[in-house]
A and B are shown apart, each in its own frame.
Chain A
């Protein structure tokens, strides 16, 4: 009974699928934006891979400077606290001073009125806008995303962020009119629909690095991307290091279990 019924059900599904094949066009709708879209360029960082990766602290410090002086005008970093930047090689005193440079929202203890106070190491990087409406109002109705997780939250990760920052250019001459950037939009072939609300954020020499590194657009993009790799996963290096210890411990465990398995089965053909 099961087999004849199953046979009929199977024929039903197969007929529906054959009809689906016959009625589905084999040609895709042409997607012009696809032709102009570019794959991200590869960015090599000290924190890459699993062969002894490390944080390049000088680069992360430069990257944080770029974030603070450029990106933070529009983008928040709300998952990162000032205390976290100890990872970047700052001392406790430096972190206190750094935090003090920010005003964070608070409450006047006498009146209960909203107020601000100096930042503490336990505070998080403050957001540039009070809320989403304010952010959109200031940005031609576009919402600048929070950057804390950005290198994990986009396909292509750090490569994508680096490519986007360095990818602003004039639209190619053969770009169809409907793909041309409208008012307030900027052409960038690394962005999914080619036109991005963010204006090119970096210009040559925009920041002055304390360590004397030349602040080219490419250099600043690399540095800030490296910083955003750290903000997305501050435990990345520790994770790899612990991983090695656990892996080698288990390797020894597995070799021992294999030897005991061979030993126990030695007299048994199987």
Chain B
């Protein structure tokens, strides 16, 4: 499970020896995130985002548990109970805003974590299982965030629930019954709110469980690194503690600074004004838009406006939206290039950056009303999204000629320092 040179756990204190015989949790921690876990020495700051996602989840769980002490999941009082938290509960405004913006921070770091994986080929053998579990976590996060957004029972909560559960009604024959079963009625109501609250409390702990599997699966081959070359010997690695605990500590500091700036100075920027209006089933908001982290997928949904073959436009949109996430499960096999890091993939690297721009464009279009030019831009964006993963990537990985690669991580590190030194002496 680890490299032969990993530092063994040798407790010296009698209590720790006793503990190690009975329940070796200290050994587990030592070998997982302590000196017993050798990690490539060349990880850059993009490798901080896994730990940051874990930190974001813990913040959500802790603030969420406190919110649940004051929140009432009943359609008659839910909205006012949130305002009660904002006005009357000690520091309730802070807990609530932290939870609200914590969800955004969680998605920001997870998106950066995913794009890190896409750029550096972290999904490739021997880490396919790490990637697959990551996609499962992403799906669970989306479900959790959606149900959490329903709980304040504002206008966007209600109409968001109406629209998103409406996706299921696009399925022929069983769609409408499935939707009613999910909602517990014909429209979102008290039954919906109660079950969403229950699931919103449950799913984060399911996420926590899958994260443990994600880390377990990671620790079998060990962490990837920016060169994409696997670890060859001891000098390629450093012990996780103290090297990466220190670096992650700094990363957590920067993360918290951004989080605090958002929470205290601009807590409603990423939200929507309509959600401060209590839910009203008789009044439809002019623009129903989901939270920002769903916008690229929402744009893909809306891009399909044509009944093609025997499938109508709405069902195409729903299928495409689910497919746009589901295709990530097949990514390790769609990309057949043995080279992991895009640093050595001149052609794929270009398409990677187009994909980044494309997802940002789709996100922007997802926010706009169904008018031109946003419709055609989201259609073009959706074409590129599917083309990138299903057409371009398999072809590129076959025809691309990779750049020359160093023989080992250490060689890459020393070469980088040699060029830094020459350029430094040249300028000096």
User: How distant is the Cα of A14 from the Cα of B373 in the complex, in angstroms?
Assistant: 19
Q: Which residues 1-46 of A have a CB within 8 angstroms of B?
A: 2-3, 6-7, 9-11, 13-21, 23-28
Q: Chain A residues with Cβ under 8 A from B284's Cβ? A: none
A18 lies within 8 A of B305 (CB)? no
- Contact residue among B273, B383, B417 (Cβ-Cβ distance under 8 Å from A18): B383
Q: What are some 11 contacts across the A-B interface (CB < 8 A)? A: A2-B333, A9-B327, A9-B390, A24-B376, A25-B372, A148-B83, A239-B267, A243-B264, A254-B254, A257-B246, A270-B413
Q: Chain B residues with Cβ under 8 A from A270's Cβ? A: 41-43, 238, 413
Most-contacted residue by chain B among A16, A27, A250, A257 (CB, 10 A): A16
Number of A-B residue pairs, CB cutoff 8 Å, is 169
A264 lies within 8 A of B303 (CB)? no
A234 lies within 8 A of B391 (CB)? no
Q: Chain A residue with minimal CB distance to B261?
A: A247
Chain A contributes a number of interface residues (CB within 8 A of B) equal to 58
Q: Chain A residues with Cβ under 8 A from B83's Cβ? A: 79, 148-149
Q: Chain A residues with Cβ under 8 A from B286's Cβ? A: 192
Q: Chain B residues with Cβ under 8 A from A152's Cβ? A: 268, 273, 276
Residues on B lying within 8 angstroms of A by beta carbon are 41-43, 80, 83, 86-87, 93-94, 97, 238, 242-243, 246-247, 249-250, 252-254, 256-257, 260-261, 263-265, 267-268, 273-274, 276-277, 286, 303-306, 308, 313, 316, 320, 323, 327, 330, 333-334, 336, 371-373, 375-376, 379-380, 382-383, 386-387, 389-391, 394, 413-414, 417
Q: Chain B residue with minimal CB distance to A10?
A: B390
- Contact residue among B87, B243, B247, B383 (Cβ-Cβ distance under 8 Å from A14): B383
A6 lies within 8 A of B257 (CB)? no
Q: Chain B residue with minimal CB distance to A249?
A: B260
A192 to chain B, nearest CB (A): 7
B304 lies within 8 A of A20 (CB)? yes
B93 lies within 8 A of A247 (CB)? no
B303 lies within 8 A of A20 (CB)? yes
A155 within 8 A of B: yes
A20 lies within 8 A of B313 (CB)? yes
Residues on A lying within 8 angstroms of B by beta carbon are 2-3, 6-7, 9-11, 13-21, 23-28, 50, 79, 84, 145, 148-149, 152-155, 157, 192, 232-235, 239-240, 242-244, 246-247, 250-251, 253-254, 257-258, 260-261, 264-265, 268-270
A153 lies within 8 A of B277 (CB)? yes
Q: Chain A residues with Cβ under 8 A from B246's Cβ? A: 257, 260-261, 264-265
